[in-house]
Structure 1
Amino acid sequence: MGFEGDEESAANQVSTKSRFRYNSPLVQITLIGLVCFCCPGMFNALSGMGGGGQVNPTAANNANTALYTTFAIFGVLGGGIYNILGPRLTLAAGCSTYVLYAGSFLYYNHKQHQSFAIVAGAILGIGAGFLWAGEGAIMTSYPPPHRKGTYISLFWSVFNMGGVIGGLIPFILNYNRSEAASVNDGTYIGFMCFMMAGTLLSLAILPPSKVVRDDGTRCTNIKYSKVSTEAVEIGKLFFNWKMLLIAPAAWASNFFYSYQFNNVNGALFNLRTRGLNNVFYWGAQMVGSVGIGYILDFSFQSRRKRGFVGIGIVAALGTAIWAGGLAKQVGYKHNDLPPKLDFKDSGSDFAGPFVLYFSYGLLDAMFQSMVYWVIGALADDSEILSRYVGFYKGSAECRSRSCLASGCTQSSIT
């Protein structure tokens, strides 16, 4: 027994020599960031085009109604499924549905039949529930407790680089098509290639029992759960006072994408400019996540005080940015839109709406990172956190579903 203990101690010492080792939280968080870069990051870029890049957004709207209906259910169930299947199977299953969704719009480009897109949207809702529950458990439980804000901002920056690259794809491929209304086949094929890469990369994620922090401690050594256990534990979330307090933040976290993508970017700018705007929208998310991550980890010695300061900053910025959005919105209506703006031809008229759209991206990342930081502060156990994050994402998508049902259009999985 003594030799076994010495060997385990030596193994731990070797495994913590470098933070860039494969089983370190840094590498694993970077990997899950790259997975989300390839899948939901590209989905966000596609959504940001407005109407899935189509001249007629009806198919995208119907597909996303199906998407958020299933996501609202499987977002809540996703944490339990993650605890049963483990990270690799859960993430790979979720990522594969993104490829199908992008492919359905490639099909729609030629056949103009929306049934495939609607079915693909419903399947993506299931897969997104899997992916985001697994991602949330990894992002909030793998890092050391005193650096969760830093690791969340790392993930958010890598993830949103997908939106930046994804925005460049339609911008470059449609640069010389200033009057084009829908994107070409190459745009969808480019998105599909990234999404397939993300599906393969998800198989490289380690389970929490194999992840070793720099101080030698391991993440939760879980035994895969049972369906009956997870059903009971998920049911308890609806009576957990912590989750009930998180619910308002969940309802505020995703519903605005449909407005920003369609009634701001889609309504005010032409096709190629929408692609450029998305590069900066998702780039702003990288800036926002790094800024709020620093505040939540390093601004004050007391974690409680850091939390209150972070919430206060996000609240103040949110009020100012949405006030600017209201001032812009009163100048046009859905059935009375101004001429489309182009980044090359519209001159100074382009600047104000562009800065507003950039600010929306900045605020989104700060808000989302702050909420994940709060959830991560509630526990360190990946089993518990997977359920918490699943509840948060499911509640958020339930709000998105109600928004779509009441007449909003396309949204985003972030």
Structure 2
Amino acid sequence: MAEAAIAIAYPEPWNKGKALGYWLTYRLSGQILGGAINLGINVDRNEAGKVSYTVYLVFIALQASGPFVSLLLNRPSKVQRKDGRKVELEILKDPWFEIKETTREFFTKNFLLIVLWIGQAVFSEAVFFTYLALWFSVRARALGSFVSGIVAVTCGNLLGWYLDNSRFTLRKRARSAFAVIVVFQGACWIWVTVLVTRFRHTRPTYDWNSPGFGSAFAVFVLLTAAFQINYLFLYFFVTNLARNEPQVIRYAALLRGTESAWQAISYGITSVTVFAEVGAVYWNFALWGVAIYPAWLVLRHFGERKENFTTVVGSEERVSEAVAYVERHDEEIKG
């Protein structure tokens, strides 16, 4: 929750997409580094099975260093933003007040409508990594982690750049990005549904020298990229739902908590053989289909308030500043 709140609140309003892209790049750099280490250690293992224990020792050492590296992060009060505004990431009320407010935010119409969209996005991680584990050799799995991380980082940063592009209105950016993500995911789910239905009978173990490797491997890479851009888009969603700094923290907490709940379900059911092989793919495909319309009901309103300021303040940066000011003083204005 803390890292999500930082990623949303630190950048200026017109740099949020790029900043989210950078944050998720750092997040995926772990997968890329892990894939490279795994591939280097297991490059000669062209059969199914478990990876070398050395891989785990290296990963444990890297994770143990994380808390010490995080001490280098600037405090919110020391962040210098181009728009001159201070980053305000603090909770001023007592914990019980925050629990009640966060619970209330969860049961608002807008958040409940995107719960399924959050689910279909994060549910897929267990699905495509289980797919990789079931049907590929040790070194092919390592290659998959490495290559898919690079592709996902590229796609995520391109989406972040697009979401910040002031040549297009927020309304157009939100709707076009949503349409591309929906179509891209739909194509991937059709592709992988056909493959796993066939694999359940053929029982392959693909190595990079195997016939048909390209088709089976490519869909894993694309599903990873789809997860990355969908994950970034989730934060774009909650950024546009939050009206002030405390809500940024609450929505970040709700998003990460909802994400964890869905992932607990997905990793749990993929431990059952029939779900690992085909059932989880079918389920995620169906979840994608039913999540589109509720998410659209929320997204279609993005940009309405901001566009009303356009004729008054002109540029995208000034629009963002004006909207932020009004939203910070919303209660005073209503009074």
TM-score range, shorter chain: 0.7 to 0.9
Q: Is the 8 A contact 1:250 1:393 kept in 2?
A: no
Q: Does the alignment pair 1:378 with 2:250?
A: no
1:312–1:221 CA distance, 2 compared to 1 (3 A): closer
Q: Is the 8 A contact 1:267 1:337 kept in 2?
A: no
Q: Does the alignment pair 1:308 with 2:171?
A: no
String of CA shifts for 1:165-203, please: whole Å, max 9, x gaps: 111111111122334622222111110121122111112
Query: In 2, distance between residues paired with 1:408 and 1:381?
Result: 41
Identical-pair percentage: 23
Aligned to 2:207: 342
Q: CA deviation at 1:350?
A: 1.2
The one-letter code of the counterpart of 1:341 is: Y
- Structure-2-length-normalised TM-score: 0.76
Q: Is the 8 A contact 1:247 1:395 kept in 2?
A: yes
Query: In 2, distance between residues paired with 1:355 and 1:255?
Result: 19
String of CA shifts for 1:196-226, please: whole Å, max 9, x gaps: 2211111222332322202322111635543
Q: Does the alignment pair 1:359 with 2:226?
A: no
Q: Is the 8 A contact 2:48 2:205 kept in 1?
A: no
3-state SS, counterpart of residue 294 of structure 1: helix
Gaps of 5+ in 1: 1-132
Count the aligned residue pairs.
Answer: 274
Q: Is the 8 A contact 1:246 1:392 kept in 2?
A: no
Q: CA deviation at 1:402?
A: 2.8
1:222–1:179 CA distance, 2 compared to 1 (3 A): closer
The one-letter code of the counterpart of 1:314 is: I
Q: Is the 8 A contact 1:314 1:366 kept in 2?
A: yes
Q: CA deviation at 1:268?
A: 1.6
2:190 to 298, 319, 323: 323
Q: Is the 8 A contact 1:141 1:380 kept in 2?
A: no
1:162–1:402 CA distance, 2 compared to 1 (3 A): closer
Q: Does the alignment pair 1:296 with 2:163?
A: yes
Aligned to 1:214: 82
1:167–1:323 CA distance, 2 compared to 1 (3 A): same
The one-letter code of the counterpart of 2:70 is: S
Query: In 2, distance between residues paired with 1:258 and 1:244?
Result: 23
Query: In 2, distance between residues paired with 1:155 and 1:139?
Result: 6
Aligned to 1:287: 154
String of CA shifts for 1:121-176, please: whole Å, max 9, x gaps: xxxxxxxxxxxx01110011111111211111111122212111111111111122
CA RMSD of aligned residues (A): 2.2
Aligned to 1:270: 137
Aligned to 1:228: 96
1:396 to 259, 272, 277: 259
The one-letter code of the counterpart of 1:182 is: K
Aligned to 1:10: none
Q: CA deviation at 1:391?
A: 0.9
Q: CA deviation at 1:375?
A: 1.1
Query: In 1, distance between residues paired with 2:16 and 2:79?
Result: 15
1:169–1:221 CA distance, 2 compared to 1 (3 A): closer
The range that moved more, 252-261 or 296-305, is: 296-305
Query: In 2, distance between residues paired with 1:251 and 1:271?
Result: 29
Query: In 2, distance between residues paired with 1:255 and 1:209?
Result: 36
The one-letter code of the counterpart of 1:289 is: G
Q: CA deviation at 1:237?
A: 1.9
3-state SS, counterpart of residue 254 of structure 1: helix
1:267–1:180 CA distance, 2 compared to 1 (3 A): closer
3-state SS, counterpart of residue 71 of structure 2: helix
Aligned to 2:304: none
String of CA shifts for 1:333-362, please: whole Å, max 9, x gaps: 1xx45331111x31x421111111111111
- Structure-1-length-normalised TM-score: 0.62
Q: Does the alignment pair 1:256 with 2:119?
A: no
Aligned to 2:73: 205
The one-letter code of the counterpart of 2:207 is: D
Query: In 2, distance between residues paired with 1:223 and 1:317?
Result: 39
Aligned to 1:50: none
String of CA shifts for 1:25-70, please: whole Å, max 9, x gaps: xxxxxxxxxxxxxxxxxxxxxxxxxxxxxxxxxxxxxxxxxxxxxx
Query: In 2, distance between residues paired with 1:164 and 1:362?
Result: 13
1:166–1:380 CA distance, 2 compared to 1 (3 A): farther
2:44 to 148, 156, 176: 176
Query: In 1, distance between residues paired with 2:59 and 2:270?
Result: 28
Q: Is the 8 A contact 2:36 2:146 kept in 1?
A: yes
1:299–1:353 CA distance, 2 compared to 1 (3 A): farther
Q: CA deviation at 1:233?
A: 1.5
Q: Does the alignment pair 1:186 with 2:54?
A: yes
Gaps of 5+ in 2: 281-335
